[in-house]
Amino acid sequence: MELNLNKIKEAQQNIKGVVRRTPLFFTDTFSDKCGCKIYLKCENKQKTGAFKLRGAYNKLVCLTEEEKSKGVIASSAGNHAQGVAYAATAFGVKSTIVMPVTAPQAKVQATRGYGADVVQAGQVYDECYAKAVEIQKETGATFLHPFNDIDVMAGQGTIGLEILEDLPQADVVLVPIGGGGLISGIATALKSIKPEIRVIGVQPEIIASTKASLEKGEIVTLPGAKSLADGISVSTPGDECFKYIKQYVDEVVTVTENEIAFSMFNLMERGKLVTEGAGATPLAALLAGKVTGLSGKNVVALVSGGNVDIATAAKIIERELVLQSRRIRFTIELADKVGQLGTLISDISSLGGNVVTARQDSNWNEKGLEYANVNFEVTAESPEHGKHIIEELISKGYFVTTK
């Protein structure tokens, strides 16, 4: 079986009416930051919160009745899990999904909610894949691979069709790479219709298995590593996928964990889009200047999914506010008298600071019981505003120690 444009067009018909046609929109904010015309393809708005439903549903359509009757089993870091669970339930097929123990609970709970039995095993995808293979041998269920499957790749390739239907003048498309099923399908679709278009893959620097494989000219397996982009933390690219990546993908770049977090924060604050780590990697590459030759070009960044654990999102927001000096931390020594703390908080508020926490330090003050150290976290509008708050408090006579 071969992956080609006809196969992808068939998949588009197979999933029509079930899978959403997700929005593609121009963003002034990120275009100005990057010096090119940036469009976001928002698969985080897809049913189940990610692109994986496309490939999973197309695969279910292509199964024989005998294969469906045995039930299906899959391994996934989370998004393929939800796609398979949703599709299998739609067809009345029993599904079992093996997920890493490190998978975000939002993804685990959603997978169960779509009707699958969930087994958690291993730290990264490759370990849970081994467990799924073991269960498949015991039960005889039909295995649905998350990426190394032509029908799955064809389903993901429908994103490429939609991009060119909505933006025929697209010059460059950036796509996250894990095992390679997503970019294989999209690149095949794009290059078959518009050979001159550039297709660029993006991987986490700490587990860039496809980039390493391309550099060596053969498939390479890297040690398992847990990236913030958990959905694409794959040690070994699929051999089927790799054939099409070599043929159609122009370049693979990598992004750091800090760059992924910064992109997620920017997509939330400026783009009003909640994304998971994998979905933020294309914009991360653009914001970090990892791709050259984009000036004046129409560039599409695929936001592949939005299934981020809410606690992780909260940590990223907190971290970025601190790194950008928009949440400042400092200690003020106060005379331990009635009304002193209230006056201080009023002074901070009058300067435009929003007090997030104020906690008295339990450590002994060198000046004795008449004094106390109070630790503050204050949100400012900008680094300059934060600096102004500190300077003004010092000018008012407060003894301030910054952290």
3-state secondary structure of 231: helix
Burial class (CB in 10 A: 0-12, 13-18, 19+), 47: middle
Active site residue 52: yes
How far is 208 from 254, CA to CA, in rounded Å?
A: 7
The angle that helices 79-90 and 105-113 make with each other, rounded to 10 degrees, is: 10
How far is 252 from 215, CA to CA, in rounded Å?
A: 10
Active site residue 304: yes
Question: Nearest Cα to 264, choosing from 231, 312, 208?
Answer: 312
How far is 67 from 244, CA to CA, in rounded Å?
A: 27
Extract the tokens encoding 144.
């649905």
The answer to whether residues 174 and 27 touch, using CB atoms and an 8 Å cutoff, is no
Which residues have C-beta within 8 Å of that of residue 135, sequence separation ≥ 6? 73, 96, 98, 119, 141
DSSP letters along 340-370, please? HHHHHHHHHHHTT-EEEEEEE--SPPTT-TT
Q: What is the DSSP letter of 19?
A: S
Q: What is the DSSP letter of 287?
A: H
Catalytic residue chosen out of the listed positions 52, 107, 191, 290: 52
The answer to whether residues 26 and 39 touch, using CB atoms and an 8 Å cutoff, is yes
The 3 state secondary structure assigned to 96-158 is: EEEECCCCCHHHHHHHHHCCCEEEECCCCHHHHHHHHHHHHHHHCCEECCCCCCHHHHHHHHH
Question: Nearest Cα to 256, choosing from 208, 201, 214, 223?
Answer: 208
Question: Nearest Cα to 164, choosing from 142, 184, 188, 148?
Answer: 188
CA angle 3, 41, 167 (to 5 degrees): 80
Dihedral sign for Cα atoms in the order 266, 271, 276, 282: negative
Residues annotated as catalytic (active site), given as ranges: 52, 304
